[in-house]
């Protein structure tokens, strides 16, 4: 079976893991609930990213169904995911819960914000992205979270017609952060958005915040 093969294969690198998680999240947002969970489940015991997205999807599903069984399962799975995040398999010494607490919470907030954005809950999504941004100084390892939260917050503002707020966030994400995981991918997305904004302004002869 495909799931058995996936379970026996080597753990993916960071980029591959996040790609798999985003693919599963996209399946969830397209109402393919079982498919999204099947993509994640084989690696939930070895990958903090898979564990957190798996738990987040169950949590979002429980929010939609309000079924007691779904709520209990989501809560238990989230606790298990947090334990995995706090106990990386290759760590030479067991880390304390506080060492990873902010990083884990911010990763969960970023993923939850993405789900809420696609579920047409912009205010709740904005609160999640803003909370990641506010936790910047307390992050220990996952420094890619803040520029990506700024990017997603900027995109959210653009979708709401708030370009005056979006452009400074996008420029901050582009200019203020270096040497983080998957930096080139994040910068490419920012560049594409700012270039499109600039082209739209020039085409329409509009004045607004500089996108350069």
pLDDT in tens, 96-127: 545 667 887 888 788 788 877 877 889 999 99
Predicted confidence at residue 2, as pLDDT, reads 35
**Position 160 confidence tier, pLDDT thresholds 50, 70, 90:** very high
Are 61 and 70 a contacting pair, CB within 8 Å?
yes
Secondary structure letter of residue 179 according to DSSP = S
User: Residue 173 has what pLDDT?
Assistant: 96
Q: Contact at 8 Å (CB) between 201 and 158?
A: no
Q: Is there a contact between 122 and 159 (Cβ–Cβ < 8 Å)? A: yes
State mean pLDDT over 173-177: 96
| The total number of residues written for the chain in this structure | 212
Contacts of 185 (CB under 8 A, 6+ apart): 15
**pLDDT reading at 68 higher than 80:** no
pTM over cut 0.85: no
140-163 average pLDDT score: 93
| pLDDT reported for residue 83 | 73
């Amino acid at each position: 079976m495909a799931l058995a093969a996936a379970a026996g294969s080597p753990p993916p690198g960071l980029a591959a893991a996040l790609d798999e998680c985003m693919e599963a999240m996209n399946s969830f947002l397209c109402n393919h609930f079982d498919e999204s969970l099947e993509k994640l489940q084989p690696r939930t015991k070895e990958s903090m990213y898979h564990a957190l997205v798996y738990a987040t999807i169950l949590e979002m599903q429980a929010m939609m169904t309000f079924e007691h069984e779904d709520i209990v399962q989501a809560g238990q799975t989230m606790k298990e995911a947090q334990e995995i995040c706090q106990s990386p398999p290759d760590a030479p010494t067991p880390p304390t819960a506080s060492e990873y607490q902010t990083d884990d919470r911010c990763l969960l907030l970023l993923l939850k914000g993405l789900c809420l954005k696609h579920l047409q809950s912009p205010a709740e999504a904005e609160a999640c992205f803003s909370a990641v941004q506010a936790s910047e100084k307390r992050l220990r390892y996952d420094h890619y979270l803040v520029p990506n939260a700024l990017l997603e917050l900027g995109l959210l503002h653009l979708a709401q017609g708030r370009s005056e707020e979006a452009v400074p966030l996008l420029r901050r994400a582009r200019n203020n952060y270096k040497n983080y995981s998957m930096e080139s991918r994040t910068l490419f997305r920012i560049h594409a958005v700012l270039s499109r904004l600039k082209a739209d302004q020039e085409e329409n002869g509009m004045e607004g915040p500089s996108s350069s």
